Amino acid sequence: MPAWGPISRPNLIRALRNLAFTGPFSGGTHQFMVRGNIVLTIPNPHGKDIGVGLLARVLKQAGVTRTQWESV
C-alpha cells in the first residue's frame, strides 16, 4: 500500500495499525505504538511528511522490512 518514500504521519500510523501495531499512546515527549514486546516511538507532527531516512529508522526499530512495508 504505502510506497517507499515520504509519508504523512496519519498514513504512517494507519499503515502501522495494518501491521498489527496498537496505539498511538501518549508518552513522555513522543507518542508510541506497541506490537507484542516492541514499543515503537512515533515522530511528532511537524506539518511536513516523514522523510525516507526517518521512515527507514522507524521501520528498522519496528522490525518491518521494506518488502513487508510495501505489501501492507
Distance CA 19, CA 2 (A): 12
Residue 1 in any domain: the answer is no
Residue-wise pLDDT tens digits, 3-29? 788 999 999 999 999 999 999 999 888
Residue 22 in any domain: the answer is yes
Contact (Cβ atoms closer than 8 angstroms) between residue 24 and residue 33: yes
Q: How many domains does the chain have?
A: 1
Residue 4 in any domain: the answer is no
Percentage of residues of the chain with pLDDT beyond 70: 99
- CATH assignment at residue 63: 3.30.920
- pLDDT at site 57: 94
Residue 2 in any domain: the answer is no
Question: Residue 68's closest CA among 20, 9, 25?
Answer: 20
Average pLDDT on 21-45 reads: 92
- pLDDT at site 1: 55
Residue 14 in any domain: the answer is yes
Write out the residue range of the structural domain in which residue 51 sits: 9-70
Residue 36 in any domain: the answer is yes
pLDDT at 58 over 80: yes
Residue 25 in any domain: the answer is yes
Distance CA 69, CA 71 (A): 5
